[in-house]
A and B are shown apart, each in its own frame.
Chain A
Amino acid sequence: MSRLEFHDVHKSFRAVKALRGVGFAIESGEAHAIVGENGAGKSTLLRILAGSIAPDQGGMSLDGARVRLHAPREALTRGIGVVHQETMAFPNLSVAANVFAGREIISRAGRLQERAMHEKTRELLARLHLHVSPDAPMDSLPAAHRQLVQVARALVFECRILALDEPTTSLTDAETEHLFAILEGLRARGLTLIYVSHRLPEVFRLCDRITVLRDGTHVSTLRRADVRPADVVRAMVGRDLPAREPGARPALEAPRLTVAGLTRRPGFERVSLALRPGEIVGLFGLVGSGRSELLETLVGLHAPDAGTMELDGRAVRFRSPGEAARAGIVLVPEDRQGQGLLFNLGLADNLALPSAIVRGVVAIDRGGEKRSGEEQIARWHIKASSVEATPDMLSGGNQQKVVLARWLATRPRVLLLDEPTKGVDVGAKYEIHGIVRAVAAEGAACLVVSSDLPEVLSLADRILVMREGRLQGEITAAAATEESVMHLATHASIEAA
């Protein structure tokens, strides 16, 4: 008898069919991966498992008995713990309060037993090798620790099934190792793990079986021993991926954007770089090395302390992203939900807005915007029911394409991209890479910030490496290897040694 089984699960969000008859079983004590492109239905399935949404049709059984969950609480009390991608936590409360939220230890008089919860939290955190105070406010913790607090929460509820949705997206390698060691330990004690990820190396390392979803349907459930990563990728995207083209190297033209000695403490210091038309420059560095702040300063979101910027040889200084965009420099931000999209407006408005600002539109041409929106949706293969749909009806990869498309519509001369494929699946990632190459081929200068080393290596013509707010060096694509780039990103430069 399986520990958990999905039976013909269907779920639609308005016109979008997120799940179309998904059924598979997860055995007791196994580590089971669920993989698929963005929009494949992984997160929807987890939300059904967590009891936060109900399926339209079908359902699941736990240890052979059919269950129907009406609230996340019911999932927890039945031993199902789900750690969501956007960690659902109370940032203003303490670690202990987060761990015990909804299951507080209460005296018979109704008083919170702070000390008991504090002690229990300390014990759980020690089991997870997490050395933080139970009284620390949640928002003082780095992302990796917040994730582990959510795991601790699942343990308080004595979960027998622990599901994690993309837990390593914002973790460093060392933090990922730590998480994996903990997950291995939990599994050894009989916990059933469900691991949702795009990162196949992690999946192959941790999981016994792999379920592939595509477009809301179950493609296959494979045993790790029987397959190679390439087979899984093929099952995910339904086709073979194109091999990377070397790409035409741009001619040595005069720089489009020159930055000299740009400083904004404590983010970054004395950054100098030049971007030529048609070139894709990668900016690699670990999280916290000052890259996002550099891009935000370039488009006028922050004022620099020192340094100059020249666009086509003319000194420029921007006070807002609007000014920068009018001059032709645009930023595709990292956080598509918080910085990129307007969820109260339809796709036509979202797609049209930056170009309307740049062109100084006064009266809106609704018909023209609708047509151009439809054209962009078709050109960039954005999966949406219509241009009137709001962005929340789209999967993450399609949302990202909308953020990219709305800025490309302004025909930028300098395109700054901050983690353009963060949390995006293999298929959408290749599509986004293709789009960036096409934009560069048309003559835009592109600067791509990414923590994804293979991405930087495959996309960039040359790679700048940043560490602790300073550029450490530059490597041409031809000479770059994972080791050489990583070395610059993590080690002190020679002058400092």
Chain B
Amino acid sequence: MRGLWRIREARTVAILLAEILFFTWYLWPDAGRAHPFLNGANGLLILKYSSVYGIAAVGAAMVIISGGVDLSPGAVIALAGVVAGKLFVEGGHSLGLSLAAGLSVGIIAGAVTAGLVVLVGLPPFIGTLGVMGIARGVAFIVTEGRFFDVSGLLPPGWKPMGIPVAWIAPAVMIALGVGFQVLMNGFQWGRSVYAVGGNETAALYSGIAVGRVKTSVYLLAGTLAAVAGVVLVVVQGQGKADLATGYELDIIASAVVGGASLSGGRGSVLGAVLGTLIFGVLRNALPQIPGATFYDRLIVGLVVIVIVVMDQLMARPSK
């Protein structure tokens, strides 16, 4: 049990379970009525809405572990979403082609970020701040204020590869979370990301191709944000330019709650995904508490601080 407790992801799971238990107890209904929080449909809803954050958080966690920070995922989500939406709804292109175009937007955004950070040498905060502005701006230019509802045009009962539409987003999030967790911990590429974030100079002296590692991280982060964007337009159908505004800070907060250190070298992809679920549960349960409507942002802010402080206390060596 103590051994399990030392695994960072296990602690994040424990926090998530405690949170679920709390809301289950707090929102316990009167006799004979269905539980408003603890039911299958609500669980799926939480997963579905969290997965947009979760998919992008996979990339954000890797950027943070590599010693950087990414402010662009919210804007890239929106741009990928509206590009895919416009091609599909207005352009009449096939769904496959539209989604591929959305994804390539993310690859381009990632490549621009990588160029600014690795070649030009801008601090990641500044480079991604610029990309955030550009991506959001292009999204407004592309839409000219219009709205593209992809989900409305999908065939009813559509099941790509036998997966119901509602399950696509969570399935993509879980697959990417687990896949990149393995890549980060079992493969040399992932260890190089940790090394670059821990001490870039020592990583270079150790023979790691630092520039290539950072480039790959930003490319992946852009691509994953675009995946989140196309998932968002397919599942929720909202292809508009102000989509996912402010998500970048929630995504960074999720990665930090999941164990990432903004000074680099520490963190976990799976932890970041679990972190988005912690916030997903809060966003779902708080509005169900009468009178809590105006408090939810406040509570989300407090939760970030409490979890990180708790983690620092627990990470101290025991005598």
Q: Hey, which bits of chain A sit against chain B, CB under 8 A? A: 14, 301, 320-322, 324-326, 331, 333, 338-345, 349, 353-354, 356-358, 361-364, 366, 406
Return the chain A residue nearest B65 by Cβ.
Answer: A344
CA distance A363 to B186 in the complex (A): 6
The contact of B202 among A322, A342, A357, by CB within 8 Å, is A342
A352 closest partner in B (C-beta): B191
Give complex CA distance A179, B188 in Å. Answer: 48
Q: Is the beta-carbon distance between B205 and A357 smaller than 8 angstroms? A: no
Instruction: Find out whether the CB atom of A339 lies under 8 angstroms from the CB atom of B201.
Output: yes
Q: What are 18 A-B residue pairs whose CB atoms fall within 8 Å in the complex?
A: A320-B209, A322-B207, A326-B207, A338-B202, A339-B202, A341-B202, A344-B197, A344-B198, A344-B264, A345-B191, A345-B194, A353-B208, A356-B188, A356-B191, A361-B188, A362-B187, A366-B186, A406-B206
Q: How many angstroms from the CA of A345 to the CA of B193 in the assembled complex? A: 11
List the B side residues contacting A341 at CB < 8 Å.
Answer: 199, 202
Given contacts A338-B199, A339-B202, A342-B199, A357 and B207 within 8 Å (CB-CB): yes
Report B-chain residues with C-beta under 8 Å of the C-beta of A324: 207
Asked whether, in the complex, the Cβ of A14 is within 8 Å of the Cβ of B317, the reply is yes
Bound complex: CA of A345 vs CA of B184, how far in Å? 13
Residue of B nearest to A338 (CB): B201
Say if the beta carbon of B266 comes within 8 Å of chain A.
Answer: yes
What residues of A have a CB within 8 angstroms of the CB of B264 in the complex? 344
User: A322, B188: Cβ atoms under 8 Å?
Assistant: no
Q: Is B309 an interface residue (CB 8 A)?
A: no
- Which residues between 177 and 214 of chain B lie within 8 Å of chain A, taking CB atoms? 186-189, 191, 194-195, 197-199, 201-209
In the bound assembly, the distance between CA atoms of A440 and B189 in angstroms comes to 32
Query: Are A340's CB and B205's CB within 8 A?
Result: yes
Contact between chains at A344 and B201 (CB < 8 Å): no
B207→A325 contact, CB < 8 A: yes
With most chain A CB atoms within 10 A of its CB, the pick from B199, B201, B209, B266 is B199
Query: How far is A426 from B71 in the complex, measured between Cα atoms in Å?
Result: 51
- B265 close to A333 (CB less than 8 A): no
Chain A residues in 8 Å Cβ range of B265: 342-345
Expressed in whole angstroms, the Cα–Cα distance for A97 and B264 within the complex equals 30
| A343 with B188: CB separation less than 8 A | no
- Are A358 and B186 closer than 8 Å at their CB atoms? no
- List residues 197-238 of chain B with CB under 8 A from any CB of chain A: 197-199, 201-209
B206, A342: Cβ atoms under 8 Å? yes
> Whole-angstrom distance from the CB of B291 to the nearest CB of chain A?
44
With A and B bound together, what is the CA distance between A301 and B204 in angstroms? Answer: 9
B206 touches A357 (CB 8 A): yes
Bound CA span A324–B206, Å: 11
B186: which A residues are within 8 A, CB to CB? 363-364, 366
Q: How far is the CB of A480 from chain B (nearest CB, A)?
A: 30
Given the contacts A344-B197, A344-B266, A353-B195, A321 and B187 also touching, CB distance less than 8 Å: no
A425 to chain B, nearest CB (A): 23
Would A320 and B204 be within 8 Å (CB), given that A353-B195, A361-B188 are in contact? Answer: yes
B34 CB → nearest A CB, Å: 47
